[in-house]
């Protein structure tokens, strides 16, 4: 699968080429920023029509990871929906696919800035959750204790003219890339990320395989 294991706060985590994170000892699969229904939200708000296949493609990728790892827990780190109206507008077919993914496992939606309230789509809804040495939340907090795992920033690494979504990690925090289709990204040297990783940090680029790269020191 071309995934990569890393050590983080005393645990082994597996970073997947899809942008998901697998914590094998807890049977947990985490994803960030699915942004389900993004094309519908853009059409509703601006009238711009995009091919309406982003939600199906995102769920197909998630289903492949679920089938590969059979997690006991799926944890979505916020912005799972492009807005709450989008969650309400999901078709019966999409709802059935989500329901199928939720079968026989715990499913946790964390709130994000795009989806601050619960969606009527099964599972449980929390602001954040602490598990073992980790706290999972949507947006990284300045000065957070070591073990923070989050999403929100959609980090992307640019190397040799190519930009790829990436994980970013140091000894204190781990930020996941956006998992959903049609999601943009924030350059790994942007000030918002640089402030969260003021010292040495590593990026792990997603794609056909997970590739490590040191984050450029722009201080």
**Number of compact structural domains in the chain:** 1
Give domain status of residue 219, yes or no. Answer: no
DSSP-derived letter for residue 200 is: -
User: Which positions ≥6 away from 145 have C-beta within 8 Å?
Assistant: 135, 172
Domain extent at residue 15? 4-214
Q: How many H-runs (helices) and E-runs (strands) does the chain carry? A: 5, 16
Residue 28 parent element (H or E):
strand 28-31
Predicted confidence pLDDT, tens digits, the chain (219 residues): 699 999 999 999 999 999 999 999 999 999 999 988 755 544 445 455 445 568 889 999 999 999 999 999 999 999 998 766 777 778 888 899 999 999 999 999 999 987 777 778 899 999 999 999 999 999 999 989 999 999 999 999 998 878 899 999 999 999 999 999 867 799 999 999 999 998 889 999 999 999 999 998 755
Give domain status of residue 174, yes or no. Answer: yes
Give domain status of residue 35, yes or no. Answer: yes
Give domain status of residue 24, yes or no. Answer: yes
Q: Is the dihedral of CA 22, 23, 29, 35 positive or negative?
A: negative
> Which residue from 90, 96, 82, 93 is spatially nearest to 38, judged by alpha carbons?
82
- State whether residue 110 is helix, strand or coil: strand
- pTM value is 0.92
- How big is the chain, counted in residues? 219
Q: Which CATH number covers residue 121?
A: 3.60.21
């Amino acid at each position: 699968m071309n995934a990569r294991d890393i050590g983080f706060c005393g645990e082994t985590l597996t970073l997947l080429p899809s942008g998901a994170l697998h914590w094998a000892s807890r049977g947990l699969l985490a994803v960030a920023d699915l942004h389900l229904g993004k094309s519908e939200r853009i059409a509703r708000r601006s009238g711009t029509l995009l091919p309406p296949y982003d939600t199906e493609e995102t769920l197909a990728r998630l289903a492949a990871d679920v089938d590969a790892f059979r997690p006991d827990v799926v944890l979505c780190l916020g912005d799972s929906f492009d807005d709450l109206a989008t969650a309400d507008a999901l078709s019966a077919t999409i709802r059935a696919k989500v329901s199928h993914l939720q079968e026989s496992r715990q499913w946790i939606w964390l709130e994000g800035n795009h989806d601050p309230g619960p969606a009527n789509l099964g599972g449980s809804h929390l602001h954040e959750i602490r598990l073992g040495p980790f706290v999972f939340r949507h947006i990284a907090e300045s000065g957070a204790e070591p073990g923070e795992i989050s999403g929100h920033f959609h980090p992307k690494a640019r190397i040799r003219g190519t930009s790829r979504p990436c994980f970013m990690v140091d000894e204190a925090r781990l930020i996941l890339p956006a998992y959903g289709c049609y999601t943009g990204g924030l350059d790994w040297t942007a000030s918002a990320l640089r402030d969260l990783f003021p010292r040495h940090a590593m990026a792990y680029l997603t794609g056909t395989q997970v590739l490590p790269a040191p984050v450029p020191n722009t201080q």
